[in-house]
Every structure is written in C-alpha cells, then in structure tokens.
Amino acid sequence: MMKRVLATALVLFAAVFTACGDGNKSSSELNDNTSTNHPDVSGFSLDSFNIETDYQPFFDDNNSIVACEEGYYKFADQFLYFIDKNTMQPIPLCAKPDCKHYSGYENYEECNAYFSPTVYMSDKGLFYYNSSLYLIGAIDESNSQSLYLYKISKDGSRRERVCHILDAGSDLNSMNFRFILHKGNGYLSYSGDNKAELFTFNIEDKEAKLSRIDEIQGYGAEIYRLKGCENGISYQYGSFTDDSLETYEGGIKISVENKTETVVKDAVKSYVITNGSVYYEVSDGLKVYSISSKKTRTFETVDNNYSVNYDGKYFYTYDVMDENPQTLSVYDSNEKYITSLEMPENIRQNFLLFGDEDNFFVNCCKQDGIWCDMYFDKSKISDENAEWIILYEYS
Ligand SMILES: [Zn+2]
C-alpha cells in the first residue's frame, strides 16, 4: 500500500532550532528577511522556465515526480523509476545485474531504485537541479532526527548527503514541514505550536545556514504550497482567528530577494503564478490577481473547483464534486476554453499530479485496492478517443 503521510498539525517545534547549524542563536538573532517592500515578479512566466535549475510548478505541489529533458523520474511504492519520454516505458533506476527491482525480491533493499521510507522522505517531494535528483531524508536508519538533503545521480548509482539542514530534536516523521528546491536554494517551512516559519538556505553549504523569510502566528498556523517564483518563492499561509477554529484567515505571499508581499487574502484552495498574475481557486471560482496593477478579476465562476494548474500551454481546473469519471476543464494560455479532459474510468480515487507540456500524470487507487500510475499524452487532448495509459501497478 502506498504510504500517504497526512499533514499532522499542531506538533510542537520548540526545540527545532536549538541544535542546528547556527544552533545557539535565539530565533530573533537569525537572519530575518521579513519586509513589506514589494518584490518584483511581474515578469515571472513559465516561458522563462529553466528545467536545469528551477522548481517545477506544473506538477502538483506534493510532487513525487520530476521532469528532465529526456523524461521523468517518479517514485512508486518506495522504488524510483525513470520514464523515457520517447517510449514512456517506466524502468526501475537500477543497473545492477541480477537485481529484480521489486519489494517481493529477497534482496530488494540492495536495489539502487529502492529508497527506504525510514531514511528517505519521498512524500516530501523529488527535485531536479543541475542534472541531479534531490530529496530530503534522515541521516540513516537509526537516527530519524537529523534532516539532510540527498543528491542522487541520474542513473541511480550514487547517493550522497550533501547538506545537513537541521537537527529536529524529535522524530522528523512526526513533524509538519514542507520542502522545495529552487535555483540552488532550499526552502523549508514548519508548522506547529500555533506558529509557522519559513526558512531558506543555500544547498552548496554542507551545514545549512537557515535564513528566516517569514513567521506567522495563530491557531493552527501553517505555511504550505511552496513554489519557486522568479528568484524567490511563493506560498500559502493561514491560521484560525481563535480557538473555536471556525474562521480561517490566510492567503498567498511572494518573497523575492528579501522582499515579501501578501498578494492574495482569501481562503485559497490552490494557485499558480505565471505571466505576472496569480491564478487562484476560491469557493466561488477561479480568480486572477495582477501583480503589477494589483487588480483582481474572475476567470471562471464554477463552484467547488479545487485545483488550478498551468503547464506553459494550458490551464486546467478541476471540479471535485463531479461524478465518476471526474473531468478537468482545459483552457489555452489566453484563457480560452479548449476542451474537457476526463479522468480514468472505474477508479476509486484519483490524485492529480499534472505535468509538463507533454504529458499529464495521475496516481489512482483502483476498485480492487491496487494502485497505479497513468499518463495522458497532451498532444491528443482534443481527441475524444485518446485514452489514459497505465505506467505500472503496485499494491
Ligand atoms: Zn535493482
């Protein structure tokens, strides 16, 4: 069964920073980049996206998949696969002779494609940077309190711990944090103890020098949906106004080069930033906020839409209340409606992973409890007979 780690809110973090790199500083002595100056991201667009250095905002934000020029890397059931773009055939990332590359095999822990869940946090995302893969994890099987950044070679043969991020003081798996890698910087948010903090660090440092970007306080305070944005980051934040947990206040912020600005104040369900605008779903539809003019307009007025995504070519919106099979609405980059895309049929649950300009990915729970990953060739998006294709199944 695929492990899906649910966000565990309200975990205590008091000890998190007392033992890390710049360990003995109090939080007020850490570099504090919080500022009300306006970041300039009005020119930010996926047209300037660099696959070698940039966070990949066209995948779902909890992505266990990344793209490179030749194809995709994706985790499935703790095994890492490479999917060649030309063949779309998934291959376990292991060249060891005689290895069977699956968990039923007696020596599966020695397979180069296997990433033990007690060390590697594949659920916190997989990242591609300067022709290597990255993910975060614990130091080893016996110590689940020290957080490291791991670098994996593209052929899977080499793994190394390249950066010690922090010592948590308690089990990393019990903590509510998020991580992304963008343009050589790591971004890490923690939520707990009615406080949420966002830090950045340079991954070239063997001992991370954590620099604070933001801190928010309030009941159930959280910083989440981190995405690379220009030379900085965008993220959602929010908390409840009181302990009755009835009224939630939050929105979207952008922080670039020491300047942080709140761009949206609303109960946002999902968002993307491109072409100098923030596209975000709220309860009554999809809105567009222009970063330069600071004006908001309506894109689509469908209630219950949950997800919005953009791949550089198409926008996708997703109505979670749809009957099975669920459908996405597809718009071009000028916001003109193109078509609807039906999710795979006879599937109990779909988890949208979205994708680059070429392919759309979905992780499915089938009726019989078997999981599978499927993809859709976007060049056939207007072809009514085009079908979802299974990459692999696992239990
Ligand atoms: Zn193997």
Predicted local confidence at residue 346, as pLDDT: 77
Give the count of domains, the chain: 1
38 domain-assigned: yes
C-alpha–C-alpha distance, residues 144 and 141, integer Å: 7
Ligand 1 centroid to Cα of residue 89, in Å, is 16
C-alpha–C-alpha distance, residues 112 and 120, integer Å: 13
Ligand 1 centroid to Cα of residue 95, in Å, is 6
Compute how many other C-beta atoms are within 10 angstroms of the C-beta atom of residue 277: 23
Predicted local confidence at residue 15, as pLDDT: 31
Ligand 1 centroid to Cα of residue 154, in Å, is 14
Predicted local confidence at residue 173, as pLDDT: 78
Predicted local confidence at residue 324, as pLDDT: 64
Ligand 1 centroid to Cα of residue 63, in Å, is 23
Ligand 1 centroid to Cα of residue 113, in Å, is 6
Per-residue pLDDT tens over the stretch 277-324:
999 999 888 999 998 899 999 998 777 777 899 999 999 998 766 666
378 domain-assigned: no
Ligand 1 centroid to Cα of residue 3, in Å, is 21
How is residue 4 written in tokens? Answer: 């899906």
Give me the residues of the chain with pLDDT under 70, please.
1-37, 43, 320-325
Residues contacting residue 293 through CB under 8 Å, at least 6 positions apart: none
C-alpha–C-alpha distance, residues 92 and 89, integer Å: 10
Predicted local confidence at residue 138, as pLDDT: 93
Ligand 1 centroid to Cα of residue 56, in Å, is 27
- Using alpha carbons, select from 119, 120, 145 the residue that is nearest to residue 19: 145
Contact 189, 212 (CB under 8 A): no
Ligand 1 centroid to Cα of residue 137, in Å, is 21
Per-residue pLDDT tens over the stretch 169-214:
888 877 888 999 999 999 999 988 899 999 999 999 999 999 999 9
342 domain-assigned: no
360 domain-assigned: no
Ligand 1 centroid to Cα of residue 99, in Å, is 4
Predicted local confidence at residue 292, as pLDDT: 87
Ligand 1 centroid to Cα of residue 67, in Å, is 21
Predicted local confidence at residue 282, as pLDDT: 92
Predicted local confidence at residue 245, as pLDDT: 85
Output the CA angle 26-39-317, nearest 5 degrees.
Answer: 105
Ligand 1 centroid to Cα of residue 267, in Å, is 45
- Whole-model pTM over 0.85: yes
Facing residues of 187 across strands?
180, 200
3-class secondary structure per residue, the chain? CCCCCCCCCCCCCCCHHHCCCCCCCCHHHCCECCCCCCCCCCCCCHHHCCCCCCCCCCECCCCCEEECCCEEEEEECCEEEEEECCCCCEEECCCCCCCCCCCCCCCHHHCCCECCCCCECHHHCCEEECCEEEEEEEEECCEEEEEEEEEECCCCCCEEEEEEEEECCCCHHHCEEEEEEECCEEEEEEEECCEEEEEEEECCCCECCCEEEEEEECEEEEEEEEEEECCEEEEEEEEECCCCCCCEEEEEEEEECCEEEEEEECCCCEEEEECCEEEEEECCEEEEEECCCCCEEEEECCCCEEEEEECCCEEEEEECCCCCCCEEEEEECCCCEEEEEECCCCEEEEEEEECCCCEEEEEEEECCCCEEEEEEEHHHCCCCCCCCEEEEEEC
What amino acid is encoded at 377 in this protein? D
Contact 286, 280 (CB under 8 A): yes
275 domain-assigned: no
Q: Residue 194 sits in which domain range?
A: 1-21+31-261
Ligand 1 centroid to Cα of residue 118, in Å, is 19
196 domain-assigned: yes
Predicted local confidence at residue 322, as pLDDT: 62
Contact 21, 164 (CB under 8 A): yes
328 domain-assigned: no
Sort residue 263 into left (φ over 0), alpha (ψ -120 to 50) or beta.
alpha
Ligand 1 centroid to Cα of residue 73, in Å, is 15
321 domain-assigned: no
Predicted local confidence at residue 168, as pLDDT: 85
Predicted local confidence at residue 37, as pLDDT: 59
